[in-house]
Amino acid sequence: MLGKLAVVIGLAGLGLGAALAFTRSPALPAEQFAQLQPGDTARGEQVFWAAGCASCHSAPGATGTAKLVLAGGRAFETAFGTFYAPNISPDPVAGIGGWRPVDLANAMLAGRAPDGSHYYPAFPYAAYQHATLQDVADLSAYLATLPHDPTPTRDHDVGFPFSIRAGLGLWKAAFMPRGWVVTGDLPPDAARGRYLVEGLGHCGECHTPRNIAGGLQTTRWLNGAPNPNGRGTVPNITPAALDWSSADIVAYLETGFTPEYDSAGGHMAEVVENYAKLPAQDRAAVAAYLKRVAPQP
């Protein structure tokens, strides 16, 4: 009897250990940064706009230089609760002024906070995981030049069981995409576009439907999806629905005007504002990539 009890306890311990292993958020090895060039603020500014940092972390309605005050606070309504963008200004107390480049890399590439806890995937690390370490180092250097703001980060309004962050380790294991969605050898312009769309620009986070657990349904990549706040839909931007020419797509990402002279609205207007600040070849790269996405009716 004691022998069987010991076996049961042992198996339970193994099961608990396996579960805890899944719930851990391992850190990236710091030595990965040893061979990188020092962060370049000019390149970091380009990463900043491509990644849409101001679109989430500045105040609603901010314009001009106010968009560079990353005090956070914007609300993002979802089926799992309301998430609030944190303060990522260089303030050493309220913001991320005390972070090293490796801390920013852990956040963006692994969804890991400096204390080892998980970030919710409302922060699009499932896409940012494709970012290069040099781009992260450059972004870190640029963020350090922006205005400090002492506004405290607001707690998320998320109920049980989603309030248990340890469970996000299981979510990552089950639903974090692995590798690129559009695979194969791409020409340089489309490969750059893939990096922007699937990675820094995190376009799939809005334009791809999700399963019941909030994981992206990559088999329906960019097929369009319900708006996370439950009001309206985000359009299909695969070639099955987006029949614009490459030149049309490039012009839209610069001006916000469609070929029918409609204009971008809502969150997309901010995306256009960001992409208008990038080099023209980056907008052309996005168009080249979108032409290679599998059509989804």
pLDDT in tens, 200-237: 999 999 999 999 999 999 999 999 998 877 778 999 99
Last residue of a domain, one of 122, 152, 176: 176
Residue 169 in domain: yes
Do both 165 and 208 map to the same domain? no
pLDDT at 20 (0 to 100):
44
Residue 155: φ, ψ to 5°: -70, 145
Tally of domains in the chain: 2
Asked if residue 14 is part of any domain, the answer here is no
Q: Beta strands of 210-257 (E only): which ranges? A: 225-226, 233-234
In a domain, 267, yes or no: yes
What is the total residue count of the chain? Answer: 297
pLDDT score of 17: 42
Alpha helices in the chain (DSSP H): 2-23, 41-50, 53-57, 101-110, 125-128, 133-143, 168-175, 188-194, 204-207, 246-255, 266-275, 280-290
Asked if 204 and 120 sit in the same domain, the reply is: no
Is the domain of 120 the same as that of 244?
no
Place of tokens 């290069």: 132
* Per-residue confidence (pLDDT) for residue 23, from 0 to 100: 61
Q: Are residues 36 and 126 in the same domain?
A: yes
User: Is there a single domain that holds both residue 189 and residue 286?
Assistant: yes
pLDDT of residue 24: 63
Q: How far apart are CA 86 and CA 122, in angstroms?
A: 11
The answer to whether residue 17 is domain-embedded is: no
Do residues 157 and 201 share a domain? Answer: no
pTM as predicted: 0.90
Taking the chain (297 residues) in consecutive chunks of 10 residues, what is each chunk's mean pLDDT?
40 40 67 84 98 95 93 92 96 96 95 94 96 97 98 93 87 91 95 98 96 94 87 92 96 95 90 97 98 92
In-domain check, residue 18: no
Q: Is 234 helix (H, G, I), strand (E, B) or coil?
A: strand
123 plus 218 within the same structural domain:
no
Q: Is residue 13 part of a domain?
A: no
Q: Is residue 38 part of a domain?
A: yes
Q: Are residues 77 and 89 in the same domain?
A: yes
Kindly state whether residue 114 falls inside one of the protein's structural domains: yes
Q: Verify that 33 and 55 share a domain, yes or no.
A: yes
Same domain? For 101 and 235 the reply is no
Domain stops at, among 142, 176, 210: 176
Residue 172 shares a structural domain with residue 183: no
How far are the Cα atoms of 1, 127, 218, 226 from residue 296, in angstroms, in the given order? 59, 20, 11, 15
- Distance of alpha carbon 216 from the chain centroid: 12
Give the range of the structural domain holding residue 113, as residue numbers without chain letter.
28-176
Hey, what are 4's tokens?
A: 């069987």
- The last residue of one of the domains, among 124, 157, 176, is 176
Residue 273 and residue 196 share a domain = yes
